[in-house]
Amino acid sequence: MRTINVSEVTEKISEACIEANHFLSADMKEKLEQATRQEEAPLGRQILEQLQENLRIAGEDMIPICQDTGMAVIFMEIGQDVHFEGGSLTDAINEGVRRGYVDGFLRKSVVKDPILRENTKDNTPAVIHYDVVPGDKVKITVAPKGFGSENMSRVFMLKPADGIEGVKNAILTAVKDAGPNACPPMVVGVGIGGTFEKCAILAKKALTRPVDQHSEITWVRELEEEMLEKINRTGIGPGGLGGSTTAMAVNVNTYPTHIAGLPVAINICCHVNRHAVREI
Amino acid sequence: MDRYVKVPLSDEDAKSLKAGDYVYLTGTIYTARDAAHKRMQEALDRGEELPLEMKNNVIYYMGPSPAREGRPIGSAGPTTASRMDKYAPALLDLGLKGMIGKGKRSQAVKDAIVRNGATYFAAVGGAGALLSKSILSSEVIAYDDLGTEAIRKLEVKDFPVIVVIDAEGNNLYETATAAYCKE
């Protein structure tokens, strides 16, 4: 049994909120550079160059990469041999988000009630996904999610008979409907299988996988490659203003499902695909 | 083609802008997004005056992140314009000449753009740090309680935008995507 004070969680989350909103991971930066070299459209290239310039300014001047600093989505992978002391873990996580967003000059974009819509003024609460894993460590992934692209995400409850072609159509439909709204070039997270809510979480988690890593399952890797190529043939392009770079990666996660179903979720992320990781 | 244009936007300039033009705006623009549009609509419904004059003005669909000390504004890129589609035609009919956002617009908005000789510009989504460098000053002029969604008056210099829907109804999203489509 390992004891961890929740104040340590608060501190790590606060740091990670600020880091994720100012610096993209190395794999995202590399993909963006590669896209800039390969883009066919002159205006598309110009936009991709601006996105690189934007990243440079964000890091040097500590201005968030995007003004939509997102709703804080937090994946907690908690070793089953860990014991937390010092108060409620959920409260500690939200305190970390509060400090990160207030101290880090990040935008407060959360409303307390979806209909009454009063801003909570500190970007809490976070959306927290808890997972219990073997061991005595805690892995925290902070993934602030902007809503330009979140709004264009979809869940399809397909039939088993729809098969892989149905899945491909669902992905292309979501991407085409998103078009310029989702700030392309996008990263497309896909969850296949499980239940209604499980496939959505799989899709969300797929966005945190490095964009230069494919699935280890052969058919899934082939689907990722094929869909990336198909999406980049749509012509949507950077900013939706035409070109050959509409997506930088398609990351697919799968899970067993029911004999009667084929749930598919497509969680679209803009080019500001943010996540920062901390381990305790 | 590259154009340097003053804002507020004159009727002549708005009419001369063509879908695909790369435009640098200099002058005064105003921010408003979801909550501010809702309030303006409610004010119109009650027959009240709006907190800003629409005639020849340009609204930027944007809610900034907070400014660090010594800076006029934080990150300041465009938000998705379609959420304002419900409110935009009434404002265009009151003389609003330009909107800056990102993403598709409804047919009703396109019709109102053509009817009023206005323009819909896109700024590059997700480039809020870069775009903030073209904003010289920012002042909240209405709905302060809305926080990031308050209406702000911005002084901008060479603020980069692209004409997406022009006064004739041409739509760059449609033509540019078709040009690179390989399906």
Provide DSSP, B91-143: HHHTT--EEEEBS---HHHHHHHHHHT-EEEEPPTT-HHHHHTTEEEEEEEE-
∠ CA A101-A102-A105 to the nearest 5 degrees? 75
Q: Which of residues 47-66 of B touch A (CB under 8 A)?
A: 62-66
**DSSP-assigned letter for residue A240:** G
CA-CA distance, B122 to B111, in Å (whole number)?
18
The predicted pLDDT at position A74 comes to 98
CB < 8 Å to A182, chain B: 103
Of the residues B23, B75, B100, the best mutation for testing chain A's interface (the one with the most A CB atoms within 10 Å of its CB) is: B75
Q: Is residue B90 classed exposed, middle or buried when 0-12, 13-18 and 19+ CB atoms within 10 A define those classes?
A: middle
Task: Please count the residues of chain B.
Answer: 183
Rounded to a whole number of angstroms, the distance from the CA of B155 to the nearest CA of chain A is 18
CB neighbourhood size of B16 (10 A): 14
The predicted pLDDT at position B1 comes to 79
CB < 8 Å to B147, chain A: 108, 119, 121
B155 strand-pairing partners: B28, B137
Distance of CA B16 to the CA centre of its chain: 17
Is the N-terminal amide bond of B8 cis, ω within 30° of 0? yes
Per the CB < 8 A criterion, the answer to whether B100 and B121 are in contact is: yes
**DSSP-assigned letter for residue A119:** B
| Phi, psi for residue A266 in degrees, rounded to 5 | -120, 110
> Residue B54 corresponds to which tokens in the numbers above?
């629409």
CB neighbourhood size of A210 (10 A): 15
The predicted pLDDT at position B35 comes to 96
- The residue among A233, A149, A48 whose CA lies nearest residue B178 is A233
| Phi, psi for residue A276 in degrees, rounded to 5 | -130, 140
What does R_g of chain A's alpha carbons equal in angstroms?
Answer: 19
Place of tokens 């000789």: B117
- The residue among B59, B58, B42 whose CA lies nearest residue B50 is B42
Rounded to a whole number of angstroms, the distance from the CA of A257 to the nearest CA of chain B is 32
The predicted pLDDT at position A200 comes to 98
The predicted pLDDT at position A100 comes to 98
CB < 8 Å to B61, chain A: none
Task: Please count the residues of chain A.
Answer: 280
Residues 6+ apart with CB under 8 A from A152: A174, A177, A178, A181, A182, A268
The predicted pLDDT at position A186 comes to 97
CB < 8 Å to B102, chain A: 148, 180-181, 183, 239-240
CB neighbourhood size of A201 (10 A): 20
Query: Does residue B178 sit at the A interface (CB-CB below 8 Å)?
Result: yes
| Phi, psi for residue A198 in degrees, rounded to 5 | -65, -40
The predicted pLDDT at position B37 comes to 98
Task: Tell me which chain A residue has its CA closest to the CA of residue B21.
Answer: A43
Q: Which of residues 91-150 of B touch A (CB under 8 A)?
A: 102-104, 122, 124-130, 132-133, 146-149
The predicted pLDDT at position A184 comes to 97
**Segments in chain A below pLDDT 70:** none
CB < 8 Å to B64, chain A: 67, 107
Q: Which of residues 2-31 of B touch A (CB under 8 A)?
A: 22
Average pLDDT, chain A: 97
Q: Where in chain A is the domain with CATH 3.30.360?
A: 2-20+65-145
Of the residues B65, B73, B146, B159, the best mutation for testing chain A's interface (the one with the most A CB atoms within 10 Å of its CB) is: B65
CB neighbourhood size of B10 (10 A): 13
Task: Tell me which chain A residue has its CA closest to the CA of residue B163.
Answer: A241
Interface contact flag, A63 B125, Cβ < 8 Å:
no
Query: Does residue B72 sit at the A interface (CB-CB below 8 Å)?
Result: no
**DSSP-assigned letter for residue B51:** S
Task: Tell me which chain B residue has its CA closest to the CA of residue A244.
Answer: B180
Query: Does residue B182 sit at the A interface (CB-CB below 8 Å)?
Result: yes
Between strands B151-165 and B22-31, the pairing is: antiparallel
**Which residue among A57, A107, A235 sits closest to B63, beta carbon to beta carbon?**
A107
Task: Tell me which chain A residue has its CA closest to the CA of residue B64.
Answer: A67
Q: Count H helices, E strands: chain B?
A: 6, 7
CB < 8 Å to A47, chain B: 124
Domains assigned to chain B: 2-180 (3.20.130.10)
The predicted pLDDT at position A143 comes to 97
Rounded to a whole number of angstroms, the distance from the CA of B164 to the nearest CA of chain A is 9
Interface contact flag, B127 A244, Cβ < 8 Å:
no
- The residue among B12, B17, B29, B2 whose CA lies nearest residue B157 is B29
**Segments in chain B below pLDDT 50:** none
**Which residue among B63, B128, B180 sits closest to A242, beta carbon to beta carbon?**
B180
| Phi, psi for residue A213 in degrees, rounded to 5 | -120, 130
Domain A2-20+65-145 has CATH 3.30.360: yes
